[in-house]
Structure formats: structure tokens, C-alpha cells
Amino acid sequence: MENCIFCRIVAGEIPSATVYEDENFKAIMDIAPAAKGHVIMVAKKHYANLFELDDTVASKALIVARKIAIAIQMELNCDGVNLLQNNGEAAGQTVFHFHIHVIPRYDEDQVTVPWRHTQYGDGEAAALAVKLAARI
């Protein structure tokens, strides 16, 4: 994917501050961080999003994200860590190459991952759970 910025970073054509690399992932400092220490863990192969991942890469992703989260927590002594992974413009995805954000969080920080809580009608959650379960 020659026009994909993350493919170019993985290929070394665009420099990045790398914190971790293995056969499947390259984790780099985000260029416009939510907080100092914000890392993005980028798949080496071009998958546009979560839906395109194969099970092997998907299963390895959380293992690597956890290692990065632990390193961030130990180095920055932050109060919390968010893992965030956006799929589709509606979900806030801006780079259409699979990646996971690992974001250090502090009590009273200004970082927001907000939503307004909605509500189910009577029986709606249970009915939807049945439909979702049928698709897994």
C-alpha cells in the first residue's frame, strides 16, 4: 500500500520513534499524542481494520499491547492506561491501517474518551444479545 502512511513507517521510509518491534507489529510514539507517552502499535501487514485481521495476528495483538501498557505504566508511573482501537470513520479512525493506541492516563487529566450513555427498552438488550451470540 504505497500511499498508506503506516505501511511507509513500517517499511522505514518515514522515520518513527520505535518502542517495540517483532514479526507482526511495530510500536511507535504517536506524532500527535493524547498524552506524553502515547504509543501506537501498528500491524506490519496492511490490514485496514480489525475486521481484516487473521486470528493469529489478532491473538498476538493483546499480548503485545499489554507489554507496551506495562512499560508505559512502569516508566511514567501513570494512574491508568487506555487501549483504544478505532474502526471506521464513524469510530474516529483516521489512518486506515490496523493499529492500537496505548495511552497513559492520569487522575484529573484532560484526555477524554467520552460517550453519552444511552438506554435500552424493556427486553431490548437481551434480544440483541441473542442476535449477537448467533453471529459469533
Q: Closest CB to Zn ion among 6 and 25?
A: 6
Of 17, 29, 31, 36, nearest to 111 by C-alpha is 36
* 32 touching ligand 5GP, by CB under 6 A: yes
* 28 touching Zn ion, by CB under 5 A: no
Q: Closest CB to ligand 5GP among 28 and 102?
A: 28
Identify the residue among 45, 46, 60, 67 touching Zn ion (CB under 5 A). 46
Question: Which residues, listed in sequence order, are joined to residue 100 by a DSSP beta bridge?
Answer: 41
Q: Which of ligand 5GP, Zn ion, none does 71 bind, CB closer than 5 to 8 A by kind?
A: none
Output the nine-digit C-alpha cell for 5.
502512511
Of 100, 94, 108, nearest to 82 by C-alpha is 100
Residue 47, Cα to own-chain centre: how many angstroms?
Answer: 13
Chain length of the chain: 136
CA atoms of 42 and 45, how far apart (whole Å): 9
* 100 touching Zn ion, by CB under 5 A: no
Mark whether 46 is an active-site residue: no
* 102 touching ligand 5GP, by CB under 6 A: no
* 108 in Cβ contact with 102 (< 8 Å): no
Active site residues: 99
Positions that interact with Zn ion (CB under 5 A): 1, 4, 6-7, 46, 97
Positions that interact with ligand 5GP (CB under 6 A): 5, 14, 16, 28-32, 40, 86, 92-95
